[in-house]
């Protein structure tokens, strides 16, 4: 299933703010930028009230076919739904998908997301 709408990062300004000010961690398939306690941006006040928001960015360079890119996004959203209850604080997180993700399976995404989010202190370590 998809990530709930209140936990999605949608506004372009929000993505830009995370890219400019966020902390970075990267793995084999994914690169993550996270920003703790973001200040209000005019177009994204609704995103502030939810606590945690995730955005997934996948380029056409990863794979030419949209079907493959959408499958990867669905798998990442599903993995995020499992990790959502363990998030502490208010965060904006942008996940960039690398080309190695085309050979990754769901559990690879889950394991890598968990490791990277713990490294950025978005998740509890246990």
pLDDT value at position 45? 53
Residue 41 within any structural domain of the chain: yes
Retrieve residue 69's tokens.
């890119």
**10: number of CA atoms within 13 Å, CB side?**
13
Q: What CATH number does the domain containing 25 carry?
A: 3.30.230.10
pLDDT value for 41 = 53
Per-residue confidence (pLDDT) for residue 38, from 0 to 100: 76
Residue pair 40/17 in contact by the 8 Å Cβ criterion: no
- Is 126 a domain residue? no
Is residue 125, in this structure, part of any structural domain at all?
Answer: no
Does 99 reside within a domain?
yes
For 81-111, letters b (16+ CB in 10 Å) and e give: eebeeebeebbbbbbbbbeebeebeeebbbe
Distance CA 23, CA 32 (A): 8
pLDDT value at residue 80: 95
The string of pLDDT tens digits covering residues 25-82 is: 999 999 999 999 876 655 455 555 557 999 999 999 999 999 999 999 999 999 999 9
Q: Does residue 94 lie within any of the structural domains?
A: yes
Work out how many domains the chain is built from and give that number.
Answer: 1
**Rounded-to-integer distance, Cα 35 and Cα 118, Å:** 14
Asked, for residue 123, whether it belongs to a domain, the answer is: no
Instruction: Tokens for 115, please give them.
Output: 């490791």
Give the residue numbers spanning the domain of 20.
Answer: 3-118
Record the pTM: 0.88
């Amino acid at each position: 299933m998809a990530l709930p709408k209140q936990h999605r990062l949608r506004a372009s300004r929000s993505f830009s703010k995370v890219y400019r000010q966020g902390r970075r961690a990267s793995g084999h398939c994914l690169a993550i930028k996270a920003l703790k306690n973001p200040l209000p941006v005019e177009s994204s006040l609704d995103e502030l009230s939810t606590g945690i928001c995730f955005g997934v960015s996948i380029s056409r360079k990863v794979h030419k076919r949209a079907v493959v890119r959408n499958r990867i996004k669905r798998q990442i959203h599903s993995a995020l739904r499992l990790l959502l209850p363990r998030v502490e604080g208010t965060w904006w997180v942008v996940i960039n998908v690398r080309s190695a993700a085309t050979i990754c399976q769901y559990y690879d995404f889950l394991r890598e997301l968990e490791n990277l989010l713990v490294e950025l202190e978005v998740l509890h370590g246990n």
